[in-house]
Amino acid sequence: MLIEVLIVGVMVGAIYSLVTIGYSMVYGILKLMNFAHGDVYIFGALLCYTLLAQFHLNAILAVVLAAVAGGLLASLVEFIAYRRLRAAQHRMISMITALGAAYVIQNSSELKWGNQVQSFPSLFPADHIVIMGSQVSVTHIFTLIIAVVVIVAFNLFLKYHKAGKAILCVSEDIPTSSLMGIPINKTISVVYFLGGVFGVLGGVLYSASYNAISISMGFRGTIIAFTAAVIGGIGSMGGALIGGMILGLSENLISVYVSSSYKDPITFLILIGILLIRPTGILGRTEAGKV
């Protein structure tokens, strides 16, 4: 029993890490709470659902299309609602436009797909394998592998690819990067695009492993990404991984051993606790305030 719970927890944790990476990256660069993140991811996942269930597309093609659409939507939101405000007087302004953008996407998706829970088709065979005496679904294994591969690939991209290095530079210091000839606007668009892509991937994997999708998962996704990013240390890749894992595991342990209706309140309590005790997160750096 415990091993199964732990394996599911690790899988959910890996998905959360995937969703968190994009979110944390955006925060690391712009110091902007992207409230629209979860709504972008649920938009992509719902699009994938339609492509699979109505158009019977090949699974890989559907996921890729949905992820690209999500990425484009995320960059569009950045372009419309955030870019003009980057130099704005106060960060709160872009936070509120972010919320506004989130509601626009959420409401538009609701008009298209309704607010009911729909059954998401499985992407993997419904087999089980036995690990250390407990049955583990193949879906969970595949999901875990995909999430880990994507996270590792993204880290390699950041370290070795030119565009990846540009992202790291911009997150260090925007004015200096711009002086060094890094195209800031383009890099930020890429960051949002990738954030959207990873978000949609995470959303699709999550919906596929639970066979369910609904619009309300969007806001929850934003909060999960927030919480995981804050727990691990916002802006840090390793932190996103740790935060996602902690949330995935704790959530599953709580819903099995306590009650699933207290799963979300306890997630929020963890968030409050972390904010009070160590607001910079486990791997985060403290920043000195400027006057």
Determine the size of the site formed for other proteins (CB under 8 A): 44
Give min distance, CB of 280 to other proteins, in A.
9
Q: Is 33 in the site for other proteins (CB under 8 A)?
A: yes
Site residues for other proteins, window 265-284 (CB under 8 A)? 265, 268-269, 271-272, 275-276, 279
Whole-number Å distance between alpha carbons of 48 and 270? 32
Give min distance, CB of 238 to other proteins, in A.
20
SS3 92: helix
| Among 2, 61, 96, 117, interactor with other proteins by CB under 8 A | 96
Site residues for other proteins, window 196-225 (CB under 8 A)? 219, 223
Residue indicated by tokens 């916002």:
234
Residue indicated by tokens 């029993």:
1
Token pair belonging to 261: 């209706």
Q: Is 262 in the site for other proteins (CB under 8 A)?
A: yes
Comparison of 98 and 208: residue with beta carbon closer to other proteins: 98
Q: Is 90 in the site for other proteins (CB under 8 A)?
A: yes
**Cβ(82)–Cβ(195) below 8 Å:** no
Give min distance, CB of 150 to other proteins, in A.
26
Q: 49 exposed, middle or buried (CB, 10 Å; 0-12, 13-18, 19+)?
A: buried
Comparison of 31 and 161: residue with beta carbon closer to other proteins: 31
Give min distance, CB of 243 to other proteins, in A.
13
Token pair belonging to 89: 């007087």
Comparison of 85 and 241: residue with beta carbon closer to other proteins: 85
Stretch that binds other proteins, among 118-126, 171-179, 235-243, 257-265 (CB under 8 A): 257-265
Comparison of 54 and 261: residue with beta carbon closer to other proteins: 261
Comparison of 54 and 89: residue with beta carbon closer to other proteins: 89
Helices (H), the chain: 2-30, 37-53, 59-77, 91-113, 138-160, 162-172, 174-179, 184-210, 217-232, 237-257, 263-277
| Among 85, 191, 204, 247, interactor with other proteins by CB under 8 A | 85
Among candidates 93, 83, 106, 99, which has minimal Cα distance to 189? Answer: 83
- For 216, how many CA atoms within 13 A lie in the half-sphere containing its CB? 6
Site residues for other proteins, window 63-82 (CB under 8 A)? 80-81
**Cβ(233)–Cβ(283) below 8 Å:** yes
Token pair belonging to 183: 């195209």
Site string for other proteins, 103-142 (x = CB under 8 A): xx-xxx-xx-------------------------------
Whole-number Å distance between alpha carbons of 61 and 176? 40
